[in-house]
Chains A and B, each alone.
Chain A
Amino acid sequence: MNNKHTSRSRSPRRPARHALGAATAAAALGLALAGCGEQGSGTKDEGKSKTTSTGTKVLWLGDSIAGAEAPALGAALKAGGVEFKDSSSDGGGTVVDSGEKITRMISGDTWKQLTKDIDAFRPTVVAYQVTTYDWGSKDQQRAAYEKVVDTAERAGAKVVFVPSPPIKIDGFYKQHEAQMRTAPGVAAEVAGKSGGAAAFFDASQVWGTDASAGKAQRAPDGIHNCQQGAAAFAKWFTGKLGEQERFEPASVDTWAQKSWTGDERYSKLRCAA
């Protein structure tokens, strides 16, 4: 068959044989197999890290663009002894309520989740990548970002704002393009006036500002990144965070080619195409 696929055994995760004896129809069989759970996604941990903990705990927030960065970011930070929780949201993640029904819904969910995450994870750094749903006026954006800073501060955490990478503006984003453009500047302004409670890491150093340029490293959809882009972002972000939080980022050799590269979302994004 297709020899171009390298493979690994799936048998240890497969209790299907127990179902086979009783199977008399495809539906029943399928139901039993479905109960066996997901196929391996290739994203399991590489084993317990032997790295000394730095005491830094990063809570990662954003939309699905941040989500496509998260597998590499998690691997890089964990390799350096930093705890990491990805709380980005596919199709959501904004903290800004622009007054539109959709952002009211999304931001409501984000704030609820943020409260839960802070209670459960106790982050020392709340990192928020500006989302493609951070619509609304500058005042609405400012109010939301200030609320993030206040919320984190009350929990004893600092905030890091990161602008969204440049993306292909399609029909969906076109009507909100102007608002999307103001969001990073507002986030930088909020960080600047926070008295050290928040920082702004300018990700254009990694991605540039042109979505169609090679530097932006966009996936075939023009919006998200693939593995190489995620790794580039993770290296840059851990470097910047390491300077701020005074920890030594792990060498790329220890994390950049590990199992996170098999994360399912890169398959959905047709990164191998």
Chain B
Amino acid sequence: MAALDGLRGFAVAAVLLFHAGHLSGGFLGVDLFFVLSGFLITGLLLGEGGGRGRIALAAFWSRRARRLLPALVCVAVVTVVGTWAWGSADQLRFALDDLPWVGAQAVNWHYITEQIGYWNASDTRVFAHLWSIGVEWQFYLAWPLVVAVAARGRRGERIVAALAGAGALVSLVLTVELGAAVDTTRAYEGTDTRAAALLLGALVATAPVRNLARRVPRRAADLVCLALACGLAVAWAMTEGEKAPLLFQGGLFLHSVTAAVLIVLMAQVPGTRAARIAGSRLPRGLGQLSYSLYLWHWPVYLLLLPRLSTLGDRGATAVAIGVSVVAAAVTRRYVEDPVRFRAGWARGRRGLLAMTAVAVAGAVLWAAVPEPVSGAGTVDVDQLR
């Protein structure tokens, strides 16, 4: 749906600006991604369950893998080479440390144990942004199982709605509890805590909520959408970074609820102004690039921005965003789309072979790239005497 693609475009733009230091609450774009994912995935699963009577889980996971893995593997491999060539010794060290966790779709838990937030260490890790990809993957593994079981029978969607709602509330309680710590990485990057956004998206994808939304008159929906969109914009502009205490005291949850209601109204009420704006060319185009753009932007920023200081803050940001967009467009055209639409080389055995070859290249690279020795020459013994 064009409008939801457009919302993705806004979300990725917010994240890009946040990471460039120009939008203090732009990280909330990731939360919007989560809500959208929960909504879309649950909608697909329920649609399949309603149409065929059962959900083919293996086929679902296979489609998710085809959609998400090729670009991720390519970006990861190129990023390691780029970090080897242009990154600092620390960045290379952590890239090699983090890469297996990226491949295992569990890098968020790795970063939690590393207390990446406590050390403010994101800019030493070229894969720091992939925590959210890990969260999504883990959700994609678990939630379809729940839906496949719960959606059976006449009251299936009601049960799914109840489970999603209850799960979101449990997740909120966990966020409040874990967010009270000095290191907020656990609350910020945990799959259980961020499940609130995914589950709220799932909740609004169920028939009871969709039917409710469908009954809202368009004019009223326009007004509500305007208020909700303004709410999101204010949150993105005003929130003071990922450690703002209010985030973990219900702030993230409130953002997710706002996004979920906006999404379901845009999806269910025909012709809303919000849907028309979100579905316009620029946000929609950005949204269609959003996955690859998200994958590329952080390593591009880390490796490129320090070399662009002569351009000034805004100039450097513009160039880094431009490079990220080009890289994303190339990835979409030559990797994502061929695999997704089963182009000749990406079909059947050849597709599997190509995928395996890139993954093996990544593994070989990981084993072959020499790990830098940190710390050599950092202590001057003469100063100690």
Chain A residues with CB under 8 Å of chain B are 1-2, 4-11, 14, 16-17, 19-20, 23-27, 29-31, 33-36, 38-40, 42, 64, 90-92, 101-102, 105-106, 133, 221, 226-228, 231-232, 235, 252-253, 256-257, 259-273
Task: Check if A9 sits within 8 Å of B183, measured CB to CB.
Answer: no
Instruction: Indicate whether A102 sits within 8 Å of B101 (C-beta atoms), given known contacts A256-B384, A261-B375.
Output: no
Task: Check if B119 sits within 8 Å of A268, measured CB to CB.
Answer: yes
- Residue-wise interface mask of B (82-117) relative to A, using a CB-CB cutoff of 8 A (1 in contact, 0 not): 001111111011101101111111100010001100
Closest to B184 in A: A91
Instruction: Indicate whether A268 sits within 8 Å of B124 (C-beta atoms), given known contacts A25-B356, A91-B181, A226-B378.
Output: yes
Bound Cα distance from A33 to B364, whole angstroms: 11
Q: List 23 A-B contacts (CB under 8 A).
A: A2-B84, A6-B372, A14-B367, A25-B355, A27-B103, A30-B100, A33-B99, A39-B97, A40-B371, A64-B118, A90-B118, A91-B183, A102-B181, A105-B180, A105-B181, A231-B384, A256-B379, A261-B375, A262-B373, A267-B90, A267-B93, A268-B124, A270-B90
Task: Check if A235 sits within 8 Å of B87, measured CB to CB.
Answer: no
Closest to B109 in A: A34
Task: Check if B72 sits within 8 Å of A26, measured CB to CB.
Answer: yes
Name the prevailing secondary structure of the B interface residues. Answer: helix
Contact of A29 among B81, B114, B362, B379 (CB under 8 A): B362
Task: Check if A34 sits within 8 Å of B106, measured CB to CB.
Answer: yes
Q: CB of B385 within 8 A of chain A? A: yes
In the complex, chain B residues whose CB is within 8 Å of the CB of A39: 93, 96-97, 371
Q: CB of B374 within 8 A of chain A? A: yes
Bound Cα distance from A6 to B371, whole angstroms: 8
Bound Cα distance from A8 to B94, whole angstroms: 15
In the complex, chain A residues whose CB is within 8 Å of the CB of B72: 26
Known pairs A10-B370, A261-B374; list 19 more (Cβ under 8 Å).
A2-B84, A2-B86, A5-B372, A9-B370, A14-B367, A20-B360, A25-B69, A26-B358, A27-B103, A29-B103, A29-B359, A30-B100, A38-B97, A42-B373, A64-B118, A91-B181, A102-B180, A102-B182, A267-B90
In the complex, chain B residues whose CB is within 8 Å of the CB of A268: 114, 119, 121, 124
Q: What distance in Å separates the Cβ of B14 from its nearest Cβ neighbour in chain A?
A: 24
By size class, the interface of chain B is 35 or more
Bound Cα distance from A262 to B241, whole angstroms: 31
Bound Cα distance from A27 to B362, whole angstroms: 12
Task: Check if A272 sits within 8 Å of B69, measured CB to CB.
Answer: no
Instruction: Indicate whether A2 sits within 8 Å of B105 (C-beta atoms), given known contacts A92-B182, A252-B384.
Output: no
Contact of A25 among B65, B119, B181, B366 (CB under 8 A): B65
In the complex, chain B residues whose CB is within 8 Å of the CB of A25: 65, 69, 355-356, 359
In the complex, chain A residues whose CB is within 8 Å of the CB of B227: none
Task: Check if B182 sits within 8 Å of A106, measured CB to CB.
Answer: yes
Those 3 A-B pairs whose CB atoms lie nearest each other, nearest first: A30-B103, A7-B370, A261-B375
Closest to B115 in A: A90
Q: CB of B363 within 8 A of chain A? A: yes
Q: CB of B120 within 8 A of chain A? A: yes
Q: What distance in Å separates the Cβ of B336 from its nearest Cβ neighbour in chain A?
A: 14
Q: CB of B146 within 8 A of chain A? A: no
In the complex, chain B residues whose CB is within 8 Å of the CB of A273: 88
Bound Cα distance from A5 to B85, whole angstroms: 10
Task: Check if A261 sits within 8 Å of B105, measured CB to CB.
Answer: no
Bound Cα distance from A235 to B97, whole angstroms: 32
Task: Check if B374 sits within 8 Å of A27, measured CB to CB.
Answer: no
Task: Check if B367 sits within 8 Å of A1, measured CB to CB.
Answer: no
Task: Check if B93 sits within 8 Å of A10, measured CB to CB.
Answer: no
Q: CB of B216 within 8 A of chain A? A: no
